[in-house]
């Protein structure tokens, strides 16, 4: 399966397996390096997916409440802070 087709949840599960394998500390150096590289690839994939989701959420939560009547983008973090 192409990396771009891997669902976020599956990539996260794979990353958890990578972390577990590395934490055991029983891999030979070259294999540990290969597993680490896979972890970096999965981390980048998950990070990119989360960034894209955050961008889409920001677009969907744009407000038309600004004085000028223009669309105003509200940062994703604002929603959680208001509820505290």
Name the superfamily (CATH) of residues 8-65.
Answer: Exonuclease VII, small subunit (1.10.287.1040)
pLDDT in tens, 42-60: 999 999 999 999 988 877 7
What distance in Å separates the CA atoms of residue 47 and residue 51, rounded to the nearest whole number?
Answer: 6
Cα four-point dihedral sign 19, 25, 27, 33: positive
pLDDT at 16: 98
Query: Would you list the domain boundaries of the chain?
Result: 8-65
pLDDT band at 67 (very low <50, low <70, confident <90, very high): very low
More confident residue, 82 or 46: 46
């Amino acid at each position: 399966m192409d990396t771009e087709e891997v669902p976020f949840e599956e990539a996260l599960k794979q990353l958890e397996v990578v972390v577990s394998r590395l934490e055991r500390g029983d891999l030979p150096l070259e294999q540990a390096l290969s597993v680490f590289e896979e972890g970096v690839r999965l981390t980048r994939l998950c990070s990119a997916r989360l960034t894209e989701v955050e961008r889409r959420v920001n677009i969907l939560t744009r407000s038309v409440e600004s004085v000028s009547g223009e669309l105003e983008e509200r940062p994703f973090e604002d929603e959680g802070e208001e509820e505290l």
